[in-house]
Structure 1
Amino acid sequence: MFHVGDSIVYPMQGAGVIEAIVEKEILGENHRYYLIKMPIRDMQVMIPIVKVKKSRIRLVANIPTLEHVLNIFQYGQTDTTLSMKERYKINAEKLRTGNIQDGAEVVRDLMRLNKKKALNSSEKQMLESARKIFISELGIIRGITDNQAKDLLNKMVG
């Protein structure tokens, strides 16, 4: 159970803050929802409380976890032996987990590959989406703007 004011990550959407818990009547039944402000797309999302576990929403990572992830981001290895099809499948699954380390690995690997040769359109789209999600969490944890988080990532990839 989350509380108003909690910073959370909604997998495939990004980081946000729970602004309220609201009750809505739908088809004659009352349901409770988290109202989440998602700065990444400047939108609000309503998630039924009963579906939170299934949606894999989690609290944003703490500073020690972030530092560990950033270390892996900067110094971890990228597997360049995978075919594009294998890489896409693995990366898509990593993003679905909502795990910060998995998402960071996708961003790192695709940014590195993009420096060597242009990514195809589906991987470009995946990179852009994964970057936005990772940057949104990085910004909330560090208390920095999205632009500052982007700059930090770009410096780390070199």
Structure 2
Amino acid sequence: MFGINELVVYPAQGVGKVERIEKQEIRGAVTEFYIVRILANNVTLMVPVANAHSVGLRSVCDSKEGGQVLDILRDRSDFTGYTGQNWNRRYREYSEKLKSGNLRDVAYVLKELLLIGRDKELSFGERRLLEQAMSLVTLELSFALGRDQEIVRSDIQEMFQDVLGDMESEA
């Protein structure tokens, strides 16, 4: 159960705040909803309390997990390089990971796209996924680590400066 004013993460939308919990009658049944305002875009979501877990609503990670996610981003040992995989297949795979709501999966997408961008120009769709992953990761980490989102973004960009420098020179 989440409380009012608690920060939560909704898959593919990011960090939001539970503004209130309200009951509504739908088809004769009274259902309780979390009213969640997504911080990145001010969208309001109604999430049934009974289904919150199954739709992936979760608490913002703690500072320990936030640090582990930064370690995952730094570690390039699991990256096998651009394999020439069809961008459409990669796009679907990465979209599913972003929808999972799992911060480690989202960080994986971010790292993969940054590193793939070192070897080839990203498609428009991949660049959109990259920006979405960056936004999701940096906002959650900013709350988990108690740091400004732009500082977290800057730290991640610095980790990948060799990659981002190559991508910027190609543009």
- TM bin, normalised by shorter chain, reads 0.7 to 0.9
Answer yes or no: is 1:93 the counterpart of 2:90: no
Percentage of pairs with the same residue: 27
Rg larger in structure:
2
Moved more, 96-105 or 114-123: 114-123
Moved more, 73-82 or 102-111: 73-82
Structure-to-structure mapping, 1:1-158, within 5 angstroms = 1-76=1-76, 77-79=78-80, 80-81=82-83, 83=85, 84-158=87-161
Scaled by the length of structure 1, the TM-score of the pair is: 0.87
Distance in 2 (alpha carbons) for counterparts of 1:105 and 1:122: 17
> What SS does structure 2 have at the residue aligned with 1:108?
helix
1:90 deviates by 2.7
Higher relative contact order (CA 8 A, sep 6+): 1
Scaled by the length of structure 2, the TM-score of the pair is: 0.81
1:95 deviates by 1.8
1:87 deviates by 2.5
1:108 deviates by 1.1
> Where does the alignment leave 5 or more consecutive residues of structure 2 unmatched?
162-171
Question: Paired residues, what number?
Answer: 158
> What SS does structure 1 have at the residue aligned with 2:121?
coil
> Where does the alignment leave 5 or more consecutive residues of structure 1 unmatched?
none
Q: Give a deviation string over 1:51-91, Cα, whole Å, max 9, x none.
A: 21221111111111111111110123323225024422332
